[in-house]
Structure 1
Amino acid sequence: MTKLEMTETIMAAKKSSGLGWEAISEKVGLGSVFLTSACLGMNSLKPEPADKLCEVLGLDATVSEALQAFPNKKWDQIVPTDPLIYRLYEVVGVYGETIKEIVGEKFGDGIMSAIDFSMDIDKEENPAGDRVVITMNGKFLPYKSW
């Protein structure tokens, strides 16, 4: 089973289950952002959470095997070569669909404003290596029907 087939199978089972990503992640024991990203093919899972996800969604072992396969974190984008900016593109490339899924569940169909928006960049000291903390805060803008 390919990662694309895996994602399609998981998304269909998720829809049938009526469960959201947070509820699924609580049952599996992983964070919702990471688990969603793995289900969308951008990360892999260890055997235990992969099997647990399949149990929660009623999926077979071929899905678990595909979840455990290493991802090819590739997307069709032209990105800058500056290492810091490239890493931000990589974050969006790897987690963008995950962010869209979770924002959709929490707010509905819409976007985050980049006009009514703020961003903070902080440093978190950590004995394992200092951390960059980027907080983006944008107004939710629902799509309008007419």
Structure 2
Amino acid sequence: MNKIEMSEEIILAKKELALSWEEIASLVGISPVFLTSACFGMNSLKEEVADKLCAVLNLPSIVSTALQAFPNKTWDFTVPQDPVVYRLYEVVGVYGETIKELVGEKFGDGIMSAIDFSMEIDKEENPAGDRVVITMNGKFLPYKAW
């Protein structure tokens, strides 16, 4: 089973059980952001977690095996059409150089890890319209000279 087939099986089971990603993650015991990313094939899960997810969703062991496989993290290089994903591209397009400059001032020459990383997505209620709160937390990795 490849990652695309795995994702399709998971999404179908999620829909049939009428569970949210938050509910599934709570039952499995990991972050909903990381769980969803793994279910979409962009990260892998340890055997124990993959098996637990499959038990929650009543999925066969072949899905667990696919969840444990290392991902091939590629994506299209074109601007996405989905409005939510496009807006994130827009944020990086407008603020990316600013983020890079401010990280450089605060930490020095380096990058934020996307491996030693966590992210949370929250909702902030606001009378002027609810707000999406995305918190990204990555280890700073300084560039090395040799």
Query: Which bracket does the TM-score occupy, shorter chain normalised?
Result: 0.5 to 0.7
Structure 1: stretches of 5+ with no match in the other structure:
80-92, 101-110, 141-146
The answer to whether the Cα contact below 8 Å between 2:34 and 2:43 also exists between their aligned partners in 1 is yes
| Counterpart position of 2:38 | 38
| Counterpart position of 2:69 | 69
CA separation of 1:134 and 1:68: change in aligned 2, threshold 3 A:
closer
Deviations, residues 105-135 of structure 1 (Å, cap 9, x unaligned): xxxxxx78x69xxx7968799xxxx889999
Separation in structure 2 between the aligned mates of residue 76 and residue 13 of structure 1, nearest angstrom: 27
The percentage of aligned residue pairs carrying the same residue is 50
Partner letter of residue 66 of structure 1?
Answer: A
Deviation of 1:75 (Å): 1.0
| Counterpart position of 1:20 | 20
Partner letter of residue 22 of structure 1?
Answer: E
| Counterpart position of 1:48 | 48
Partner letter of residue 12 of structure 1?
Answer: L
TM-score for both structures, normalised by structure 2:
0.57
TM-score for both structures, normalised by structure 1:
0.57
4+ runs of 1 displaced by more than 6 Å? 122-125, 130-135
TM alignment of 1:1-146, pairs within 5 A: 1-77=1-77
Deviation of 1:58 (Å): 0.2
Deviation of 1:25 (Å): 0.2
Structure 2: stretches of 5+ with no match in the other structure:
124-128, 131-146
Paired positions, count? 106
Partner letter of residue 67 of structure 1?
Answer: L
Deviation of 1:13 (Å): 0.2
Q: Match of 2:25, SS?
A: helix
Partner letter of residue 69 of structure 1?
Answer: A
| Counterpart position of 1:85 | none
Deviation of 1:78 (Å): 5.5
